[in-house]
Structure 1
């Protein structure tokens, strides 16, 4: 039997339905919460200089195990492999970047659906890369948007992003001149940058739901640490990954860090009180879960 191999071109049309992809991701997060999927923190193999090969692995007990590997220096293609849990037979592979972007977007969609106010309809977005695009894709699926404001450092990129998003979703998308003006007065905020310094003033954000994808380490984080102080609910997709950060996670050893709970717990019925900050760190096994689901279809 030929082993399925998916490339970015193969996947381009397979994840148009954001709602079903988010539902699949919700199943994965709950499986990890209940111990049906094993999700250890990512591991790194140094390759000299700034380069290292990173692995995230997962096992859906009784079904499959698998891994994702990528080189941190080049930001190139990622390899995702799923193998049968009892025989080790390779069930399928993915090569490229699309599946990883979909996975992060879908996790954000699950978090938004669980934590954002039901009536939320406006989004402030910092960042215009693939991850920012997938956050918009997912958030719009669970909270139909009426307005989006977007900022990134390059004028041309934010204007092009706004034009593409307005055409895709048929809503008002405005490219703003400053990061603060992109988030002021918005119901929800998504930070999707690679910045090691805060990209927005904490006082400018009044949203009831904020999701952050970028760096979140001590002395290297995309939002000011004081932002978290006004959120009674702080959530992450992977507490084990938070504990394994090196350098440590930005809330390590603080009262804020002690308040952090898992997205799986929220999905399982733990009440969330008031405004919520979601710290996406990449729950292991979720990429292989998506690939296994795709193979099954």
Structure 2
């Protein structure tokens, strides 16, 4: 079995148009059927403000399927450690023999998560934007902006975070790395009201966005809720949305934002990302609609990014 460290993986895998196409194909394959994807196994570790998820999926025709363990321990920065981590085990699809251990420390999960956000925005956000609103200042708050540059042209980021020093650090890093103007918001409301494309990237357990703040032409990609205790959106947000999209319908109703909106939205009202990519469902119909994407992360994404990584490393 081959073992690849994070340094090697980073040299070969980045947020690119090629990787974006691979992720789009994975969502299409999920929609077409034949994919075997069990529910997420979630382990909550409250005494250490931590959690771990196990995800996997088999995609017909792929050489390997991935079994991914991802962990989030949100007090780690106080200890000088990253809050997110994990690894992927690539199993041979024909024999079940382990083919490779990808010791990526969560890097591949970070990449595929950012790519999913870009796909959702490409399908649902208005075409003409000048700025992106971001709630949160962590790693995904950075990677989402980088990935969005693959599908939209913009020159400004409007960010809100609870910790002033983290917001200032975010501003400095994003301006230096991407040449973007980063404007600091005093509230989440300011971000939502002032932008047509907003991404939420926090582990919040109480709503950050209220329905009263929504406006014509707004798209929200909610990335943070992937467990029962998490929530970034007021459930009434969904009552004002014209289009609601999820990565996997059953999953967003169990661990995503929609778990809190079951009395407002039915499963039949939710379009899956793969349906739009396969032209089996429409997304935004005009520039006045309000759209929301609830993305929880899927095993099919992990298998797709693991296969892509192995292809790039061994090319």
The alpha-carbon distance between structure 1 residues 23 and 291, as it changes in their structure 2 partners (threshold 3 A), is same
Partner of 1:280: 295
Question: Which secondary structure does the structure 2 equivalent of 1:149 belong to?
Answer: strand
Q: How far, CA to CA, are the matches of 2:228 and 2:38 in structure 1?
A: 22
- By how many angstroms is 1:35 displaced? 1.8
CA contact (8 A) 1:179 1:199 kept: yes
Question: Which secondary structure does the structure 2 equivalent of 1:80 belong to?
Answer: strand
The alpha-carbon distance between structure 1 residues 33 and 192, as it changes in their structure 2 partners (threshold 3 A), is same
Give matches, 1:228-267, under 5 Å: 228-245=238-255, 249-255=259-265, 257-267=267-277
Give matches, 1:55-66, under 5 Å: 55-63=54-62, 64-66=64-66
Q: Which residue of 101, 112, 118 maps to 1:103?
A: 112
Partner of 2:208: 199
After alignment, is 253-262 or 184-193 more displaced? Answer: 253-262
The alpha-carbon distance between structure 1 residues 172 and 52, as it changes in their structure 2 partners (threshold 3 A), is closer
Q: How far, CA to CA, are the matches of 2:256 and 2:152 in structure 1?
A: 35
Q: How far, CA to CA, are the matches of 1:20 and 1:212 in structure 2?
A: 24
Q: How far, CA to CA, are the matches of 1:37 and 1:65 in structure 2?
A: 11
1:162 is the counterpart of 2:171:
yes
After alignment, is 148-157 or 113-122 more displaced? Answer: 113-122
CA contact (8 A) 1:149 1:183 kept: no
1:124 is the counterpart of 2:133:
yes
Q: Which residue of 115, 134, 149 maps to 2:143?
A: 134
Question: Which secondary structure does the structure 2 equivalent of 1:54 belong to?
Answer: strand
Question: Which secondary structure does the structure 1 equivalent of 2:261 belong to?
Answer: coil
CA displacement 1:101-159 (0-9 Å, x = unmatched): 11110111111111111213321110011111111111122111122100101111111
Mind listing any 5+ residue stretches in structure 2 that lack a counterpart?
75-82
- By how many angstroms is 1:38 displaced? 2.2
Q: How far, CA to CA, are the matches of 1:193 and 1:82 in structure 2?
A: 29
Let me know the Cα RMSD of the aligned residues: 2.7
CA contact (8 A) 1:218 1:250 kept: no
Q: How far, CA to CA, are the matches of 2:84 and 2:15 in structure 1?
A: 26
Q: Which residue of 87, 93, 97 maps to 2:95?
A: 87
Partner of 1:174: 183
CA displacement 1:20-73 (0-9 Å, x = unmatched): 221111011111111243222212468897777531011122432221113466
- By how many angstroms is 1:220 displaced? 4.8
Q: How far, CA to CA, are the matches of 1:210 and 1:292 in structure 2?
A: 29
- By how many angstroms is 1:205 displaced? 3.6
Q: Which residue of 256, 279, 292 maps to 2:307?
A: 292
Mind listing any 5+ residue stretches in structure 1 that lack a counterpart?
none
1:153 is the counterpart of 2:162:
yes
CA contact (8 A) 2:239 2:264 kept: no
After alignment, is 46-55 or 159-168 more displaced? Answer: 46-55
After alignment, is 245-254 or 18-27 more displaced? Answer: 245-254
- By how many angstroms is 1:295 displaced? 0.6
Partner of 2:9: 11
> TM-score, normalised to structure 1's length?
0.88
The alpha-carbon distance between structure 1 residues 253 and 192, as it changes in their structure 2 partners (threshold 3 A), is same
1:115 is the counterpart of 2:124:
yes
- By how many angstroms is 1:224 displaced? 1.2
Partner of 1:23: 21
CA contact (8 A) 1:54 1:71 kept: yes
